[in-house]
Amino acid sequence: MGEIVRADNLFVRLSGKNVLKEINFSVREGELMGVIGPNGAGKTTLLRVILGLIPISQGRLEVLGRLYPQLKKVRPMIGYMPQRSSYEKDIPLSVTDVVSTGLLTPATMLHRLTKGNLRVKEALQAVDMERYAKRYFQELSGGEQQRILLARSLVRKPKLLLLDEPNAGLDFPAQQKFTALLQELRERDKLTIILISHDLISIASVADQLIGINCVMHTHGRPGDLLNCPGLDEVYRCQFDLLSGIGRGRRDQK
């Protein structure tokens, strides 16, 4: 299995401030890496760096065999699902229309989308939403919309999938279903996935490795080892009791 993403001593500076520093990890083909950390820790920035949308200021980054700054060339091989808040909810598009937007690349500009319908059908089949093809996107529930957006990020048959808090705002059964779907896709299509989540228990159950960042990378390892290590307290700057799900602030400790 080859390396799909490798970051060595990565630094990212935005508006004169280091938003990410000393980031080191490697994701191999077919692996699922979870990214955890508090709000504003730089998790979304990390995904945008991998996409080549944000420049790195120091370090080395290799994605799908291409070194930074040539990441633009690998974007068509990456499926990306941003946070739920990024898309326009009231736009009058059908499910097929939404999934089709995932096929657009610089190469398809000024051209008709050939084999578009077949690709859309396959992507909807992959997330078990084929019967929703003609429904309107705005009429669907939050969980259904998330599956459609996942189909959108799969429609190009990517080698790497970047998911930014796909479970946010979903109820518990919808979260469970989504996580099960990710597992299925991973096993069936050998997809490499980098997943951001706030749900530590859920992400630990599916990830091969976890990294905990809060500007700096505090922890990196297998989920079982990591959830009990002190590095996690460093990431969130509070002490965790994962069994009760309670995080106590450091001041309480004192």
- Rounded Cα distance, 211 and 232, in Å: 9
CB of 99 to other proteins, least distance (A): 11
CB of 132 to other proteins, least distance (A): 14
Asked if 40 interacts with other proteins (CB under 8 A), we say no
Asked if 183 interacts with other proteins (CB under 8 A), we say no
Looking at residue 94, the DSSP 8-state letter turns out to be: B
Phi and psi at 20, nearest 5°, equal: -140, 135
**Which span sits near other proteins by CB under 8 A: 48-56, 185-193, 197-205, 224-232?**
48-56
CB of 87 to other proteins, least distance (A): 4
Asked if 245 interacts with other proteins (CB under 8 A), we say no
CB of 184 to other proteins, least distance (A): 23
> Which alpha helices (H) appear in the chain, and where do they start and end?
43-50, 95-101, 116-126, 142-154, 172-189, 200-206, 223-226, 230-236, 250-253
- Number of C-beta neighbours around residue 183 at 10 A: 14
Helix, strand, coil abundance in the chain, percent, nearest 5: 40, 30, 35
Question: Looking at beta carbons only, is 126 or 204 nearer to other proteins?
Answer: 126
Question: Looking at beta carbons only, is 51 or 206 nearer to other proteins?
Answer: 51
Asked if 166 interacts with other proteins (CB under 8 A), we say no
Q: Which of 3, 22, 51, 174 binds other proteins (CB under 8 A)?
A: 51
CB of 101 to other proteins, least distance (A): 4
**What mask of x and - would describe binding to other proteins in positions 143 to 162, judged by CB under 8 A?**
---------xx---------
- Rounded Cα distance, 91 and 78, in Å: 25
Strands 17-28 and 32-36: unpaired
Assign 3-class secondary structure to 120-137.
HHHHHHHCCCHHHCCCEH
Q: Which of helix, strand or coil describes residue 38?
A: coil
* Residues that bind other proteins in the complex, under the rule CB under 8 A: 48, 51, 53, 72, 75-76, 78, 80-82, 86-88, 90-94, 97-98, 100-102, 104-106, 108-110, 113, 136, 138, 152-153
